[in-house]
Chain A
């Protein structure tokens, strides 16, 4: 079955710097890759996603890149702000898996003012 590895587990950056979180997946048939942000004590919320027919997607300060050959995808946050501090989860959706996302273990991002 699908396996998703996420790195790093913790990341600390200075406000204004960029942050990059990387994930690898094992099932080449996976076709959908969302990223969720979970603030302390709150529910995870989708921040950006990418499908397997696209290599990159941007939404303001957030971008996701996908390399299908290498089976990895990354979240890029530019000009980080203290409110970006949260736990970020990547996930992969194996095709035909009946909607079951496989999540990475999460990255705790701390943005220091």
Chain B
């Protein structure tokens, strides 16, 4: 069954701790994305990756880090430098990252991970 899987679904963190959110896809998508969702703010891009071993900062990358060692996996680390980490985090993937063709594709989202800082 193809899809994109995030874990954990809920995560609690103490201030000063780093936490890593997992994102795995078996859709053979090249591009993967991390978004942060806050009430009334829509979806804001944290990081994205178009190919293995390469990734780019999005609009709100400060306090976050990522890696892309495998095509299927794009984990997000929320570091202690992120001042307001409590949020809903969504991972997404798509097969067409270039955007220049007529086949710009649908973003497939994971179920999300809700991080709460205690």
Interface residues of A (CB under 8 A from B): 6, 9, 31-32, 34, 36, 42-46, 49, 51, 89, 93-101, 103-106
Residue pairs across A and B with CB atoms within 8 Å: the count is 65
Q: Is the CB of A98 within 8 A of B50?
A: yes
User: What's the tally of chain B residues with a CB closer than 8 Å to chain A?
Assistant: 27
Which residues of chain B are near A89, meaning CB under 8 Å?
A: 42-43
| 11 residue pairs bridging A and B, Cβ less than 8 Å apart | A31-B104, A43-B112, A44-B90, A45-B109, A93-B104, A94-B99, A98-B50, A98-B56, A98-B97, A99-B50, A99-B99
How would you classify the secondary structure of chain B's contact residues: helix, strand, loop or mixed? Answer: loop
Identify which of A45, A98, A106 contacts B99 (C-beta below 8 A): A98
Which residues of chain A are near B102, meaning CB under 8 Å?
A: 51
Which residue from chain A places its CB closest to the CB of B45 in the assembled complex? Answer: A100
Which residues of chain A are near B94, meaning CB under 8 Å?
A: 99
Q: Is the CB of A99 within 8 A of B111?
A: no
Do A104 and B107 contact each other (CB < 8 Å), given the known contacts A98-B99, A99-B97?
no
Least Cβ distance of A92 to chain B in Å? 11
Q: Answer yes or no: B110 CB below 8 A from chain A CBs.
A: yes
Identify which of A9, A32, A104 contacts B104 (C-beta below 8 A): A32
Q: Is the CB of A98 within 8 A of B106?
A: no
Q: Answer yes or no: B96 CB below 8 A from chain A CBs.
A: yes
Identify which of A51, A99, A101 contacts B98 (C-beta below 8 A): A99
Which residue from chain B places its CB closest to the CB of A1 in the assembled complex? Answer: B59
Q: Answer yes or no: B48 CB below 8 A from chain A CBs.
A: yes
Q: Answer yes or no: B58 CB below 8 A from chain A CBs.
A: yes
Which residues of chain A are near B111, meaning CB under 8 Å?
A: 42-43
